[in-house]
Amino acid sequence: MIRVLLADDHEMVRDGLRVLLETTADIHVIALASNGQEALDKAMRLRPNVAVIDVSMPPMNGIKAAREIRTHCPQTQVLMLSMMRDPEHIQGSIQAGALGYILKDEAGTELIAGIRAVSKGYRYFNQKITEIAARYI
C-alpha cells in the first residue's frame, strides 16, 4: 500500500484528488494539507511514502515544502502537481528533490502512474514536461 500525503491550497482540488486516489487498490491517502508548512508538519509526523504537492501555495510554496520534506523525511518521495509549465518551476522542483512533475490538466491516470513510479524511486514526468525536465536531470 502506498501511503500518500496530498497538499494543495484549494479544498476542492484536495478532495477531488483524494476521491480519485482512494479508488485505487494500492494507494491510501493518509493526510491532506492546505499549504507547504502543513504538508511538512504532517510528513514529519506521518512519514508517507509519497507527498503530492502543488507548486504554488502560500505561505510556504511547494518547492520549499518539497526541499524541507526531502531533508527531514528522506524516505518520502515527492511528486509535484501544478499548472505551471515554465522551466523555473520545473527546475526548482527537481533541485528541491522532487522525483516527478505532473500538470493538473492531465488525466487522473497520469497522477496514479506518477505516484506508483516515484514511490519506487523512479522519476516521472508527463509528456509535456519531459523535454523541459530533461535539461535539469
Write down the pLDDT at residue 132: 73
The pTM assigned to this predicted structure is 0.92
Judged by DSSP in three states, 65 sits in: helix
What is the Cα–Cα distance from 57 to 90, expressed in whole angstroms?
Answer: 15
Q: What is the pLDDT of residues 113-123, one digit of tens each?
A: 999 999 999 99
Nearest to 42 by CA among 26, 17, 60, 23: 60
Write down the pLDDT at residue 118: 98
Quote the percentage of the chain above a pLDDT of 70.
97
Q: What is the pLDDT of residues 90-126, one digit of tens each?
A: 989 999 999 999 998 887 889 999 999 999 999 998 7
| Region 51-68 average pLDDT | 94
| Region 64-76 average pLDDT | 97
Please say whether the beta carbons of 117 and 94 come within 8 A: no
Write down the pLDDT at residue 58: 86
